[in-house]
Amino acid sequence: MNEPEQKGLGWREGAFLAEAAAQIGCLTVVVILLALGAGIWLDSRLGTKPWFTLGLVLASIPVSLYMVVRLALSAARRAQGRESEESKESEESKNR
């Protein structure tokens, strides 16, 4: 049985996917490094080693995961919105 031929992404969709992937790729490390830096600084200032470092870094894990999921979902929603807009446009141009 022949499978339907897949077209794949075009120029705009490819650029959109690249933008979303690049953001997702950087988010986790930024959040966790900020938490680590802040924790080490607070511990050295307040003499509470290791509690602030541990607490902030532990807290940053669910925060970063939540942000990654939100970013991915919003990218998917925007992509769907874009797709439906484009299909509307092409239908309108056909009707004309």
Q: Which residues bind other proteins (CB under 8 A)?
A: 5-15, 17-18, 21-22, 24-26, 28-29, 32-33, 36, 40, 49-50, 53-54, 57-58, 61, 65, 68, 86
Q: Which is nearer to other proteins, 77 or 83 (CB)?
A: 83
Least separation in angstroms between residue 95's CB and other proteins is 20
Smallest gap from residue 57 Cβ to other proteins (A):
7
CA-based max dimension of the chain: 73
Based on the number of CB atoms within 10 Å of its own CB, is 39 exposed (0-12), middle (13-18) or buried (19 or more)? buried
Using CA atoms, how far apart are residues 39 and 58, in angstroms rounded to an integer? 10
